[in-house]
Amino acid sequence: MTWSPVVSPIEVLPAGGEGRRRDWTVEEKVRIVEESLQGFRQGCATARRYGLSRALLTRWRKEYRNGVLVAPARQGFVPVSVLSEAVESFPPAPAPGSGPDMRIEIALANGRRVTIPATLDPSLLARLLPVLDAS
């Protein structure tokens, strides 16, 4: 009676971890998600192109839609132009039927909603909205 040895295949993985878990930066994730949203049925093709699972790309897309996956704002110089004449500022005209108890609801791009009094100074609102939208 002959015995055949049972040999299980063993795979030796390289120390560098090539082809294994990768760390994607937020900018790369946003770029990949935006690329996958470009056309009809681009999700699967984009996932294959970058070696991602469809489930991971789907999770990134959901985070992108919910405003969780947002590339940090780029820092740098912004061009500025200075006008020689003074710009007059006019007080905001009261809306018809507005009173101290009137409120305005604003839907931000990141999906959040902000309810403010209708009498809020527009310059204060202009400074407040970018902060709320970025957070």
SS3 87: coil
Q: What is this structure's pTM?
A: 0.42
Instruction: Give, in order, the Cα–Cα distances in Å from 123 to each of 52, 102, 109.
Output: 45, 19, 20
Which tens digits make up the pLDDT trace of 3-54?
A: 666 666 776 666 655 556 788 999 899 999 988 888 777 788 888 888 899 9
Between 132 and 32, residue with greater pLDDT: 32
Maximum distance among all alpha carbons in the chain? Answer: 105
Task: Supply the DSSP symbol for 111.
Answer: S
Give SS3 for 125. helix
- Count the Cβ atoms, other than its own, within 10 Å of residue 58: 15
